[in-house]
């Protein structure tokens, strides 16, 4: 993975992102002088074939995987998944999986965070018909040593964890045996996890990924040399972000050569809306669910619903190039 960014520059830009929720919705909006026009060349067609996403809401199960990459990097993974039983209520530990084959979404937390911090959003994804797997990174999670430069190792962590999660589909006796759509996979992440996610499509491209969702992310350290098969991207960024400037997220978004959209929250900070229920989270949740339904299930009706969900209640605006 590229390490061309200087350690001091990377650290100064990312260290403050350890405040996963961040503190306010006020700040100076940083916009580029003018939006970058879409590429004039035609973008390649996403590779997920057309289909229909589940219409029902599922109950949600949760479990933990104890993984370790290279014998030196512990990577416990929290997995939320569609479960059998009546929808509603909180996730049930080790519940039986629902019937069906479900796409997989790998989620990366921010600095000084943990997967559980994002449970409100991630359980909604699981209830909509996705298996969500979220590693706890060894150095950047809350309780780690806070080594911000280890973010550059995290795309490889996610790829390793993805391999282990997908292996459960063929593992005798595992509750997720036969339940994973291994050919329909996305990556998502917030802040430093957004950097990790961008890295999975650039310097550390994982060709198994069909789509990406970047919350308050920047390309610092991982670059914008997006590579491989077309993988639609959805960027979500607060215009009053006090940690990762809106302009930095927009600059990374502008470099994406594939179908893409950017959900901008004019009053949004660095991501507090992701951590607890509220009007902003509902807009973000509904928009990301429809994006995942389209990009992983191939559901064109979901794609058509994205603009309506994104602009509901005037909480956000959408630059739609999907």
Beta pairing, strands 131-135 & 73-83: antiparallel
Q: What are the domain boundaries of the chain?
A: 7-16+51-321
CB 222 within 8 A of CB 203: yes
Mean pLDDT lowest among 27-31, 151-155, 156-160, 230-234: 27-31
Q: How high is the pLDDT of residue 75?
A: 98
Phi first, then psi, for residue 208 (nearest 5°) are -75, -15
Phi first, then psi, for residue 304 (nearest 5°) are -70, -25
Q: Specify the higher pLDDT residue, 89 or 294.
A: 294
Q: How high is the pLDDT of residue 273?
A: 83
Give the model's confidence band at 116: pLDDT under 50 very low, under 70 low, under 90 confident, else very high. very high
Res. 96: pLDDT tops 70: yes
Res. 153: pLDDT tops 80: yes
Sole residue written with tokens 């993974």: 77
Q: How high is the pLDDT of residue 39?
A: 42
Please give the Cα distance from 191 to 186 (Å, whole number): 17
Q: How high is the pLDDT of residue 47?
A: 79
Q: Decide if domain 7-16+51-321 falls under CATH 1.10.3720.10.
A: no
Q: How high is the pLDDT of residue 146?
A: 87
Comparing CA positions, the residue from 296, 21, 284, 90 lying closest to residue 186 is 296
Q: What is the pLDDT of residues 234-280, one digit of tens each?
A: 999 999 999 999 999 999 999 999 999 999 999 999 998 888 889 99
Please give the Cα distance from 277 to 299 (Å, whole number): 26
Give the model's confidence band at 80: pLDDT under 50 very low, under 70 low, under 90 confident, else very high. very high
Give the model's confidence band at 127: pLDDT under 50 very low, under 70 low, under 90 confident, else very high. very high
Q: How high is the pLDDT of residue 44?
A: 52
Res. 211: pLDDT tops 90: yes
Q: How high is the pLDDT of residue 275?
A: 83
Q: Specify the higher pLDDT residue, 262 or 19.
A: 262
Q: What is the pLDDT of residues 23-69, one digit of tens each?
A: 333 333 333 333 444 443 344 556 788 999 999 999 999 999 999 99
Please give the Cα distance from 17 to 106 (Å, whole number): 20
Give ∠ CA 207-237-118 in degrees, rounded to 5: 75
Res. 121: pLDDT tops 70: yes
Q: How high is the pLDDT of residue 45?
A: 57
| Mean pLDDT (the chain, rounded) | 88
Res. 225: pLDDT tops 80: yes
Q: How high is the pLDDT of residue 267?
A: 94
Give the model's confidence band at 230: pLDDT under 50 very low, under 70 low, under 90 confident, else very high. very high
Give the model's confidence band at 92: pLDDT under 50 very low, under 70 low, under 90 confident, else very high. very high
Q: How high is the pLDDT of residue 46?
A: 66
């Amino acid at each position: 993975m590229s390490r061309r960014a200087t350690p001091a520059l990377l650290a100064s830009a990312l260290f403050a992102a350890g405040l996963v929720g961040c503190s306010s919705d006020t700040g100076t909006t940083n916009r580029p002088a003018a939006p970058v026009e879409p590429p004039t060349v035609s973008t390649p067609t996403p590779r997920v074939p057309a289909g229909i996403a589940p219409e029902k809401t599922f109950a949600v199960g949760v479990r933990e995987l104890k993984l370790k990459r290279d014998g030196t990097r512990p990577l416990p993974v929290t997995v939320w998944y569609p479960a059998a039983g009546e929808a509603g209520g909180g996730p049930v530990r080790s519940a039986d999986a629902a019937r069906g084959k479900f796409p997989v979404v790998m989620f990366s937390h921010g600095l000084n965070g943990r997967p559980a911090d994002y449970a409100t959003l991630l359980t909604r994804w699981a209830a909509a018909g996705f298996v969500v797997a979220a590693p706890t990174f060894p150095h950047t999670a809350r309780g780690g040593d806070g080594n911000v430069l280890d973010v550059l190792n995290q795309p490889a962590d996610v790829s390793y964890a993805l391999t282990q999660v997908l292996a459960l589909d063929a593992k005798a006796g595992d509750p997720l045996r036969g339940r994973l759509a291994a050919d329909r996979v996305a990556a998502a992440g917030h802040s430093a996890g957004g950097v990790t996610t961008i890295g999975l499509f650039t310097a550390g491209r994982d060709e198994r990924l069909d789509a990406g969702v970047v919350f308050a992310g920047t390309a610092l350290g991982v670059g914008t040399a997006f590579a491989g098969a077309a993988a639609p991207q959805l960027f979500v960024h607060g215009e009053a972000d006090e940690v990762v400037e809106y302009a930095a997220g927009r600059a990374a978004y502008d470099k994406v050569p594939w179908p893409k959209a950017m959900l901008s929250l004019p009053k949004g900070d660095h991501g507090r809306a992701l951590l607890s229920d509220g009007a902003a989270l509902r807009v973000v949740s509904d928009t990301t669910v429809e994006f995942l339904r389209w990009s992983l299930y191939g559901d064109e009706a979901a794609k058509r619903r994205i603009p309506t969900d994104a602009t509901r209640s005037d909480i956000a605006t959408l630059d739609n190039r999907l």
